[in-house]
Amino acid sequence: MTETLKVSAEYRIPAIRELCYQVVRFTPSAKKIEQTNRAEALLSEIKPDKWYSYGWICYKITRFRPDNAGEQFLGEDLRHDLILFIEDVAETVPLRPEDVSEKIYTLQELAKDFNVSTKTITRWRRAGLVSRRFLIDGRVRVGFLESTVKRFASQEHTRINRASQFSQVSPEERQAIIERARRLAQAGACRSEVVKRLAARTGRSMETIRYVLQQYDQANPDMAIFPDARGPMSEETKERVYRDYRAGESVDVIAKRYCLTRARVMRVIDEMRAKRIMDLPLDYIPNETFEKVTPEEEKQILGPPPPSPHPTRAAKLPPGLPPYLASLYEVPLLTQEQEVHLFRKMNYLKFKASKLREQLRAEIDARKRPNRALMDEIERLYEESVKTKNEIISANLRLVVSIAKRHVGPAENFFELVSDGNMSLIRAVEKFDYSRGNKFSTYASWAIMKNFARTIPDEHRYRDRFRTSQNELFTLTQDDRSDQIEQETSQLQREIQLQNILHRLDERERQIIIRRFGLDREQEPLTLKEVGAELGVTKERVRQLEARAIDKLRKLAEEEKIELSDLE
């Protein structure tokens, strides 16, 4: 293998990898040693949370200033790549012990001095303990300079002390820890609780106890103390963990409830959150300008809509309007400029969220942990797009009522038509292309009327199946039997009314009412205790929330002029 091929592919910063390539290929051996020493000295100066320019880095190592000096890198990525740089360059110039004026440690000697395993030393190499290559007895071997070891020990003394405790556990003490852990586990204690208790009793760190138990379970799967501690978690349990987290439960409470470590709870939350983001409806109407938007244009797109050229006047309400219809007149109508602005904003927000979701999908496909900052931004963009969409819908609800009035007949229920028309309006908002220059009201009217034209004849055909031409037979005697269609229509109307007022409760109150009274047809009514177990609260707390929700429902029913007896 030639020197040009001895450059790791694990670099995070392409510029540092290219620098290593140039040094390995063109720099004389004496200069390589100098630059390796400078890179190692530089490594101790880098702070993970700070940013560093490429010009400064390159000058520190080579004493030359490059053309692309202004490029900035995060310290965490730079430390990772400097370690690779030192090892890649050092591998091309193995040193002889007589060429070095300080002590050289082999892997085994260093493990013995620190009282750790050689595997631990290997892990430390990725944390800053830089190794070199030495030519000993005609063979190239890994070694460590005394100055490097001292520098690492001064910077990572906590890590070294913690790791050395692992190997100091005697066989007798290890066996005692395992036996006590087994007794606690059999008594019902979960893994985190066992680790905490044993750490307090033995004086060992929790990490040491956790390591001992983990090693034992891996070596003895048939006799494992916690056989499923690292095993797969069911999707149902993950859903419950995530639901509890979204309900406001702290991570520590969730970890204790499900006998999980805090870190594992966070992994589950990240996984389920990413899965939820993948299911978000981010379909948008594409526009060629979205790819070329400048920061100044983006600021304008995401800003408030232009003001109306005419002063907004309060709409005159027709007398006798129900509360729902009266509330529609409180929202002012949009001008065409405001309409275009809101549609462009909504679609651009979804466009940006979709692009970020592609990055998140790539991370998941690469089996990386989902980036929380990325998920925060996707959710923020989606929520902003939903808010913008709702602005458009609210300003056009009067249009649905106007069209429904023209289509309602003796056989149709007006509010059912409005509800059906609202669904058509929502779909129209999602499908409307503002860039074609048409008014949204024209497009939405067509969509709503097309839906009415399709659904109303279907209802008539359904009713015609129960009609006969011999109407005189029905006039001879009075039929006191109940009308099944009328009953079904009334029941449907009651369900619509109930759903409307239920959606005005908050999420937890709505779930309690649905579960307590069996409003979900797929599930029987639950007791206070069963609802509390499902929501993660006490039975008494469920009772309080249920009483508060019922009071709200009574007030809402009075506002909507709904007969309470109809909903019982």
pLDDT one-digit tens code per residue, 475-493: 444 444 444 445 555 555 6
**Quick one: pLDDT at residue 227?**
64
CB 128 within 8 A of CB 76: no
**Quick one: pLDDT at residue 7?**
62
Q: Report whether pLDDT(160) > 70.
A: yes
pLDDT confidence bin for 5, thresholds 50/70/90: very low
Query: Rounded mean pLDDT of the chain?
Result: 80
Cα–Cα distance for residue pair 108/115, rounded to 1 Å: 10
Q: Which strands form 104-106's sheet, in the order they lie side by side?
A: 104-106, 139-145, 132-136
Neighbours of 83 (CB within 10 A): 21
**Quick one: pLDDT at residue 259?**
75
pLDDT confidence bin for 215, thresholds 50/70/90: confident
Q: Single out the residue of 307, 318, 391, 316 nearest to residue 349, CA to CA.
A: 391
**Quick one: pLDDT at residue 566?**
44
Q: Report whether pLDDT(337) > 70.
A: yes
Concatenated DSSP letters of 302-348: TSPPPPPSS---PPPPPTT--HHHHHHTTSPPPPHHHHHHHHHHHHH
Cα–Cα distance for residue pair 190/208, rounded to 1 Å: 17
**Quick one: pLDDT at residue 476?**
41
**Quick one: pLDDT at residue 3?**
42
Predicted confidence (pLDDT) per residue in 80-105, tens digit: 888 888 888 888 888 887 777 888 88
**Quick one: pLDDT at residue 457?**
56
pLDDT confidence bin for 461, thresholds 50/70/90: very low
For the segment 556-561, the average pLDDT, to the nearest whole number, is 74
Q: Report whether pLDDT(404) > 50.
A: yes
pTM of the prediction?
Answer: 0.49
**Quick one: pLDDT at residue 339?**
92
CB 108 within 8 A of CB 72: no
What is the three-class DSSP state of 362? helix
**Quick one: pLDDT at residue 378?**
94
Cα–Cα distance for residue pair 81/20, rounded to 1 Å: 10
Q: Report whether pLDDT(325) > 80.
A: no
CB 451 within 8 A of CB 421: yes
- For residue 363, give the amino acid letter: E
Q: Single out the residue of 380, 382, 369 nearest to residue 268, CA to CA.
A: 369
Predicted confidence (pLDDT) per residue in 507-553, tens digit: 888 888 888 877 765 567 788 888 888 887 888 888 888 888 888 88
Give the range with max mean pLDDT: 133-147, 216-230, 309-323, 364-378. Answer: 364-378
Q: Report whether pLDDT(232) > 80.
A: no
